């Protein structure tokens, strides 16, 4: 299916465990983004990528690691999950310039850290 | 410190009436603004945008107004429909930025 997908949709894990959230897009968009949504904060940018092998920090990068070996995939890893990382995570992609192009969002992953 | 603020967490409107959602920003370097709509269990979807060279942009029932001097934008939905019930996020960015800054969202409830 064309579009942007995230997996898993729901994940429960324990404090200290490593978790990887997957994001895949079929448009060959250059830019990809990871956001977290928390009550009272809206969407906050964790990391973004302008192209394969190019990533940069957003507003709240601590505790997260990203990679982008292929244009279509942008996994987000929580190396040692903490309760404060309980959130809904959204992946997004956009065409060339990123800044003013419309972002297309995936359906989200609801992560609970116990 | 949030650079984009939506001070109303919720809004309730009767079907057929106007819905007005507000957004304020602090960074004068922002020159492009967007509104996204989000239904439960789905990702946000783009609704409408406006460049700082304009003060109004209209798309069907949706109109966005930009007041640069006040650093304020608003989204008007006329007439409101029950299917418009969702969370609305405003976002800001510009040529000097590689990313968007989102507000905290306003939950709109349109009552039949």
Q: How far apart are CA A42 and CA B101, in angstroms?
A: 9
- Look at residue A103 and tell me whether its pLDDT is greater than 80: yes
Contacts of B2 in chain A (CB under 8 A): 41
Strand partners, A42: A38
3-state secondary structure of A77: strand
DSSP, res B77: E
Give B 67-96 residues with CB within 8 A of chain A: 89, 91, 93-95
User: For A12-24, how does the pLDDT look when each residue is reduced to its tens digit (9 = 90+)?
Assistant: 999 999 999 999 9
Do B49 and B33 contact (CB within 8 A), yes or no? yes
β pairing state of B106-111 and B10-14: parallel
Of A94-108, B40-54, B60-74, B81-95, which range is least confident? A94-108
Cβ distance of A107 and B34 shorter than 8 Å: no
Mean pLDDT (chain A) is 92
Nearest CB among A4, A48, A102 relative to B46 is that of: A102
Do A15 and A82 contact (CB within 8 A), yes or no? yes
Q: How far apart are CA B18 and CA B30, in angstroms?
A: 27
Nearest CA in chain B to A97: B98
Cβ distance of B98 and A56 shorter than 8 Å: yes
State how far the alpha carbon of A57 is from the alpha carbons of A33, A53, B32, B74, B78, in Å: 10, 13, 21, 30, 39
For position A98, what pLDDT does the model report?
Answer: 56
User: For A52-84, how does the pLDDT look when each residue is reduced to its tens digit (9 = 90+)?
Assistant: 999 999 889 999 999 999 999 999 999 999 999
For position A95, what pLDDT does the model report?
Answer: 84
Nearest CA in chain A to B97: A99
End-to-end CA distance of chain A: 33
Other beta carbons within 10 Å of A2: 7
Cβ distance of B46 and A43 shorter than 8 Å: no
User: For B4-36, how does the pLDDT look when each residue is reduced to its tens digit (9 = 90+)?
Assistant: 999 999 999 999 999 999 999 999 999 999 999
Nearest CA in chain A to B34: A102
Provide the b/e sequence for A27-47 (b: ≥16 CB within 10 Å).
eebbbbbbbbbeeebbbbbbb
Mean pLDDT (chain B) is 94
């Amino acid at each position: 299916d064309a579009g942007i997908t995230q997996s898993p949709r729901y994940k429960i894990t324990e404090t200290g465990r490593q978790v990887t959230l997957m994001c895949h897009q079929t448009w060959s968009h250059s830019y990809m983004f990871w956001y977290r949504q928390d009550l009272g904060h809206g969407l906050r940018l964790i990391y973004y990528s302008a192209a394969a092998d190019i990533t940069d920090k957003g507003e709240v990068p601590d505790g997260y690691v990203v990679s982008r070996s292929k244009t279509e995939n942008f996994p987000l890893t929580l190396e040692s999950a903490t309760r404060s990382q309980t959130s809904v995570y959204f992946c997004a992609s956009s065409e060339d310039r990123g800044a003013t192009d419309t972002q297309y969002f995936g359906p989200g992953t609801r992560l609970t850290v116990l | 410190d949030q650079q984009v603020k939506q001070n109303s967490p919720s809004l309730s409107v009767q079907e057929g009436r106007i819905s007005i959602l507000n957004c304020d920003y602090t960074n004068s370097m922002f020159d492009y603004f967007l509104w996204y709509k989000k239904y439960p269990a789905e990702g946000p979807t783009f609704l409408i945008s406006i460049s700082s060279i304009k003060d109004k942009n209209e798309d069907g029932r949706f109109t966005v107004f930009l007041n640069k001097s006040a650093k304020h934008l608003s989204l008007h939905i006329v007439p409101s429909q029950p299917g418009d019930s969702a969370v609305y996020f405003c976002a800001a960015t510009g040529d000097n930025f590689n990313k968007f800054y989102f507000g905290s969202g306003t939950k709109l409830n349109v009552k039949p």
